[in-house]
């Protein structure tokens, strides 16, 4: 039976992507959102001082700007504008210098000694060359037949390696190793795990191919543009409604959940089979995060002024430091010298703060559900590379795992990946059924499905296409 009606629980980018994909094909869609505003963790708000606009979750979009789904929509006509900083990423070191992930492959390689320069070009060059094909292949279920087998085979040989092993094997100097490891740490799994190189390769190549942009005005603008396009197609969005049972929504042919696995289970109850729920029980959550938002009186006083050229700054020092930090978070141990990811958007988007003032945020990975207060630890890492940073802080807000989960139930335990991005959980995400469940009328479309974490909308689009195939 062809689909005529659908409900979507959750208005994050994947929920909106699923709704748009269905509405484009004539399905009447209603999106239900618990919070007063849409967007899930792709949202912006004034949480420190008036006039200081902070991205509450995601903020930099290397996978968003190249998303095949986003690129297919007229989002620029609905207010979306990408801002590309002069450099994609800065990675300062203790000697006062900083490595820059430049938009140019050659300019990035030129920072290293000759041998590592050749290695950087050899490692990243093929992925940059085949970027559109790699994006197409990597944003689909891992077990699907690739449209570009040669490009994906070339990418996959290095991507399957542990990042620590790849960095030590390919690069001889600490600078190149550290720059690559910081990118790989976005996988939120230990750098000793199989396939932890994949995130590093994709993100480094993205810098050279399509960039690491922010959204003018903040993340909320992206969510609002997606919502506005859905409404032009006749889709409905209902906010301020907490769905606890399927019966609380209007009857529909299918229901999609842009939620965590546990969130879907809680709403569906006996509509899912006991055996399917047992399989869901083995799906492992990823580490959490502890996040800081700052209102600043001035730009961050980086020891290396090069850091002001990038919106994203990796504060992790060496490969060994970052590897230790990510290992500890994954296996439930606190680390007082953590890898810190920092974003300073107001350097490139003056709409984020009052004139002459600035915003920044940073987070580190922590054990899932950690109750530790990492505020001082994170600020100490910033001070390590930017002495005098604390003197610039006008106001701060700390958000631990519990606070993040209270704001957005999909971030339970502080997990921003929708479940650990291990190789096994990329293959079976959250089970081998992928978007499908034991109930033909219920689908999961969140980052707990392929291709996984990141703001790109592909989980939602692919879930909706699966349902349309199932019910045509």
List, for residues 25-67, the tens digit of each pLDDT value.
999 999 999 999 999 999 999 999 999 999 999 999 999 999 9
Residue 444 covered by a domain: yes
Separation CA 276–CA 81 (nearest Å): 42
Mean pLDDT of 155-163: 92
Count of domains forming the chain: 1
Mean pLDDT (whole number) for 197-206: 96
Domain span including residue 70: 5-44+58-81+215-284+418-470
Answer whether 314's CB lies under 8 Å from 90's CB: yes
Phi and psi torsions of 108, nearest 5° = -65, -50
Judge whether 241 lies within some domain.
yes
Query: Which residues, at least 6 apart from 135, have a Cβ–Cβ distance to it below 8 Å?
Result: 66, 68
Tell me, what's the pLDDT at 143?
67
**3-state SS track over the chain:** CCCCEEEEECCCHHHHHHHHHHHCCCCEEEEECCCCCCCCCCCEECCCCCCCCEECCCCCCCCCCCCHHHHCCCHHHHCCCEECCCEEEEEECCCCCEEEECCCHHHHHCCCCHHHHHHHHHHHHHHHHCHHHHHHHHCCCCCCCCCCHHHHHHHHHHHCCCHHHHHHHHCCCHHHHHHHHHHHHHHCCCCCCCCCHHHHHHHHHHHHHCCCCEECCCHHHHHHHHHHHHHHCCCEEECCCCCCCHHHCCCCCEEEECCCHHHHHHHHHHHCCHHHHHHHCCCCCCCEEEEEEEEECCCCCCCCHHHHHEEEEEECCCHHHHHHHHHHHHCCCCCCCCCEEEECHHHCCHHHCCCCCEEEEEEEEECCCCCCCCHHHHHHHHHHHCCCHHHHEEEEEEECHHHHHHHCHHHHHHCCCCCCCCHHHHHCCCCCCCCECCCCCEEECCCCCCCCCCCCCHHHHHHHHHHHHHCC
Residue 248 structure tokens: 């609380």
How high is the pLDDT of residue 286? 96
Q: Which two tokens stand for residue 362?
A: 């940073």
The number of angstroms, rounded, from the C-alpha of 427 to the middle of its chain's C-alpha atoms is 19
Cβ neighbours around 27 below 10 Å, total: 24
**Residue 144 confidence class, pLDDT cut points 50, 70, 90:** confident
State yes or no: pLDDT of 23 exceeds 80: yes
Distance CA 452, CA 429 (A): 8
8 A C-beta contact, residue 34 and residue 409: yes
Percent of the chain residues past pLDDT 70, beyond the cut? 99
Q: Which of 20, 384, 458 is nearest to 229 (CA)?
A: 20
Task: Identify the band that residue 245 occupies on the pLDDT scale cut at 50, 70 and 90.
Answer: very high
* Mean pLDDT, rounded, for 253-269: 97
The answer to whether residue 35 sits within a structural domain is yes
Whole-number mean pLDDT of the chain?
96
Q: CA torsion angle for 424, 428, 430, 433 (degrees, to 10)?
A: -170
> Is residue 280 situated within a structural domain?
yes
Q: What is the pLDDT of residue 1?
A: 66
CA distance 468 to 472: 6
Tens of pLDDT, residues 101-119: 999 999 999 999 999 999 9
Q: Model confidence over 410-461: pLDDT tens digits?
A: 898 999 999 999 999 999 999 999 999 999 999 999 999 999 999 999 999 9
Q: In b/e form, how buried is each residue of 192-223, taking b as 16+ CB within 10 angstroms?
A: ebbbbbbbbbbbbbbbbbbbbbbbbbbbbbbb
Q: Is 431 within a domain?
A: yes
Instruction: Give me the residues paired with residue 359 across strands.
Output: 295
In this structure, is residue 117 part of a structural domain?
Answer: no
The first and second tokens of residue 351, run together, are 């709409």
Task: Output 152 or 421, whichever has higher pLDDT.
Answer: 421
What is the C-alpha to C-alpha distance for residues 265 and 247, in angstroms, rounded to an integer?
14
- CATH code where residue 9 lies: 3.50.50.60
Determine, yes or no, domain membership for 128.
no
pTM of the predicted model as reported, rounded to 2 decimal places: 0.96
pLDDT digits (tens, 9 = 90+) for 59-95: 999 999 999 999 999 999 999 999 999 999 999 999 9
* Phi and psi based region of residue 374 (left: phi greater than 0; alpha: psi -120 to 50; beta: remaining): alpha
Comparing 1 with 141, which gets the higher pLDDT? 141
pLDDT exceeds cutoff 80 at 317: yes
Does the residue 388 lie in any domain?
Answer: no
Query: Pairing between strand 254-257 and 442-444?
Result: parallel
Owner of token pair 């396939």: 195
Q: What is the dihedral of CA 279, 281, 284, 285, to 10 degrees?
A: 130
The pLDDT of residue 206 is 97
């Amino acid at each position: 039976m062809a689909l005529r009606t659908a409900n979507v629980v959750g208005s994050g980018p994947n929920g909106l992507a699923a709704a748009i994909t269905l509405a484009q094909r004539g399905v009447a869609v209603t999106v239900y959102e618990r919070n007063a505003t849409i967007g899930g963790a792709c949202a912006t708000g004034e949480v420190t001082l008036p006039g200081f606009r902070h991205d509450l979750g995601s903020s930099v979009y290397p996978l968003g700007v190249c998303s095949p789904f986003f690129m297919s929509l007229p989002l620029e006509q609905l207010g979306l504008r990408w801002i590309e900083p002069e450099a994609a990423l800065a990675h300062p070191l203790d000697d006062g210098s900083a490595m820059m992930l430049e938009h140019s492959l050659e300019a990035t390689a030129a920072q290293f000694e000759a041998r590592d320069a050749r290695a950087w070009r050899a490692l990243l060059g093929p992925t940059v060359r085949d970027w559109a094909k790699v994006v197409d292949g990597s944003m689909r279920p891992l077990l699907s037949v690739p449209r570009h087998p040669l490009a994906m085979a070339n990418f996959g040989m290095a991507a399957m390696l542990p990042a620590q092993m790849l960095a030590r094997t390919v690069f001889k100097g600490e600078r190149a190793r550290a720059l690559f490891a910081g990118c790989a740490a976005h996988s939120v799994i230990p750098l000793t795990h199989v396939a932890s190189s994949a995130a590093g390769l994709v993100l480094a190549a993205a810098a050279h191919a399509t960039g690491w942009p922010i959204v003018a005005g903040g993340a909320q603008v992206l969510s609002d543009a997606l919502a506005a396009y859905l409404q032009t197609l006749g889709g409905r969005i209902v906010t301020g409604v907490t769905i606890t049972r399927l019966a609380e929504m209007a009857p529909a042919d299918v229901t999609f959940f842009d939620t965590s696995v546990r969130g879907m289970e809680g709403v569906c109850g006996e509509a899912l089979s006991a055996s399917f729920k047992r399989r869901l029980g083995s799906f492992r959550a990823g580490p959490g995060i502890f996040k800081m938002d700052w209102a600043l009186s001035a730009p961050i006083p980086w020891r290396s002024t090069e850091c002001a050229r990038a919106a994203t700054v990796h504060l992790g020092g060496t490969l060994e430091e970052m590897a230790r930090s990510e290992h500890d978070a994954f296996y439930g141990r606190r680390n007082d010298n953590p890898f810190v990811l920092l974003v300073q958007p107001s350097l490139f988007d003056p709409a984020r703060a009052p004139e002459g003032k600035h915003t920044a945020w940073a987070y580190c990975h922590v054990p899932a559900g950690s109750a530790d207060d990492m505020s001082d630890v994170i600020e100490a890492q910033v001070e390590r590379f930017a002495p005098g940073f604390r003197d610039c802080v006008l106001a701060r807000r700390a958000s631990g795992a519990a606070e993040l989960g209270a704001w957005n139930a999909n971030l339970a335990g502080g997990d921003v990946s929708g479940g650990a991005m291990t190789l096994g959980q990329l293959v079976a995400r959250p089970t081998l059924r992928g978007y499908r469940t034991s109930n033909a009328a219920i689908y999961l479309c969140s980052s707990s499905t392929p291709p996984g974490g990141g703001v790109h909308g592909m989980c939602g689009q692919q879930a909706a296409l699966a349902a349309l195939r199932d019910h045509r």
